[in-house]
Amino acid sequence: MQKSKGAVWVVAEQIEGKLAEASFELLGKAGELAAQGGGAGVVSVVMGSGIGALAEELIPYGADRVLVIDHPRLTLYQNDTYAAVLEDLIRRELPEIVLFSASYCGSELSATVAAKLGTGLAAHCVDLHINEQGEFVQVVPAFGGRVLGDILCPNHRPQMASVKPGLFAKPAKDATRIGEVVKETAAVLDGFSSPLKALRVVQEPPPGLPLEQADVVVAGGWGVGSAETWQLLEELASELGGAVGCTRPALDEGWTEGEHTMIGTSGKTVRPRLYIGFGISGAAHHVVGMKDSGVVISVNNDSQAPIFHVSDYGVVADLKKILPPLLEEIKTHKDSGT
C-alpha cells in the first residue's frame, strides 16, 4: 500500500544532525497546500546517518508521517547518493507534490531528482498555492524580478518546487500532534558506485549579525551613490543594533561585500520589526524579500518610487542630507538615556 500517494512531501534538510529552519517553514506551507487540495496529508523525508531522533522534531511542526532513511553513506550530503535514495523512494511512494529548500544543497538535489524522474521543477519560488481548479501553482520571479509568473506542471508527477529559506513563516509548535515515523531502507545504495566522496562539511558563518535574525535592518540601494555614504548606513545600523542589507546594484558596486547581505529573490528574505531603506527604487525582486517587515520606512528623492507603495512611512529627500542629522539625533538620545 502506497500510503504517501497524493501527499505533499517536504524534504527536510539537516547538517550534522541539526535540522535547517527552512524545513519547518516548508512544513507550514505544506500543511496549507494539503488542506487546499484535499490531499493525503503532509509527509517529511529526512536522510542522513544517526538521525532517527530528528523525526520527532518534525511532527510538532506539521508532519503527519516522517520517512527516515538512516545509512552510513548518507552521513554527509552528496548529490548522487542522496538523489538515488530519494528517486527510489518517490517512485515507490508516489507523492503528488515534493518541496525542497532552495539552499545550495536543496537547489542541487531538487534539480537532480527532477531530471531523474522526468518531471518539472519550479526553482526559487516566492509563493505556492492551489488554485480554484485544484492545480498546484508555483510562483516565480521573471524578467529580473519585475513580474511574477505562475508555473504549472499538469502532465507529470510529482510536481516539484524549491523555495527560498525564510520566505514562509515557521508554524507554531504543537507538542500534542501525533504522527507516524517510518524507517525506510536505502537498498538502492547496495552496489551503488560513485566517483565522488564527500570528506567533510565546512560552514563559514558571515561576520556580524545575520540579516534574517536582526530586529532592525538598514538597507541601501543604487541611490546611496558611493562607498562613503554607505559607511553612514553601517554606522546607523550599528547605533540601532541592527544589520545592513542591500540590493544587487549596491553589491555589484562593491559598497558591501558578500551575497549574504543581499535582500530579494536572489538573496535573503527578512522580517525585521523595523526596516529602513535608503535609495531603493522598490523593484519587485527586492520587495519580495522585505515586504513582510513590521514597520517599513523608506527614504528616496523620487516621489514616484515604487518602494513607497510598500512603506508605512516615506521620506522624499536627499538621503545625504537625512543621514548625518539622523545619526546625531540617535546618538544624542542614547547619551541622554532617553
pLDDT, tens only, 27-65 = 999 988 888 876 678 999 999 988 888 988 999 998 999
Q: State the helix-helix crossing angle for 79-93 and 104-117, rounded to 10 degrees.
A: 50
At residue 121, the pLDDT reads 93
Higher pLDDT: 218 or 198? It is 218
Using the 3D structure, point to which of 155, 189, 223 is the last residue of a domain: 189
At residue 131, the pLDDT reads 87
Q: Residue 147's domain is classified under what CATH number?
A: 3.40.50.620
Mean pLDDT along residues 150-177: 88
Residues 174 and 238 in one domain: no
At residue 91, the pLDDT reads 93
pLDDT in tens, 113-150: 999 999 999 998 888 988 888 888 888 877 655 667 88
Mean pLDDT along residues 286-290: 86
pLDDT in tens, 230-250: 999 999 999 999 999 999 888
At residue 1, the pLDDT reads 37
Phi then psi for 32, rounded to 5 degrees? -65, -45
Residues 124 and 28 in one domain: yes
Residues 125 and 156 in one domain: yes
Residues 174 and 310 in one domain: no
Mean pLDDT along residues 180-185: 88
Domain hosting 20: range is: 8-189
Residues 149 and 254 in one domain: no
Confidence band for 298, pLDDT divided at 50, 70 and 90: very high
Q: Residue 263's domain is classified under what CATH number?
A: 3.40.50.1220
Using the 3D structure, point to which of 137, 159, 189 is the last residue of a domain: 189
Residues 217 and 307 in one domain: yes
The answer to whether the CB of 33 falls within 8 A of the CB of 158 is no
At residue 186, the pLDDT reads 85
Residues 119 and 38 in one domain: yes
Asked if the structure places residue 195 within a domain, the reply is: no
Residues 236 and 93 in one domain: no
Asked if the structure places residue 58 within a domain, the reply is: yes
Confidence band for 190, pLDDT divided at 50, 70 and 90: confident
Give how far Cα 27 sits from Cα of 11, 14, 24, Å. 9, 14, 5
Asked if the structure places residue 197 within a domain, the reply is: no
Using the 3D structure, point to which of 159, 189, 219 is the last residue of a domain: 189
Residues 234 and 324 in one domain: yes
Residues 184 and 220 in one domain: no
3-state secondary structure of 58: helix
At residue 167, the pLDDT reads 81
Report pTM.
Answer: 0.78
Residues 72 and 151 in one domain: yes
Asked if the structure places residue 40 within a domain, the reply is: yes
| C-alpha angle 145-150-35 in degrees, rounded to nearest 5 | 120
Instruction: Classify the phi-psi angles of 191: left when phi > 0, otherwise alpha if psi is within -120 to 50, otherwise beta.
Output: left
Domain count, the chain: 2
Rounded Cα distance, 17 and 66, in Å: 16
Cβ neighbours for 332, distance < 8 A, ≥ 6 positions apart: none
Asked if the structure places residue 206 within a domain, the reply is: no
Residues 133 and 229 in one domain: no
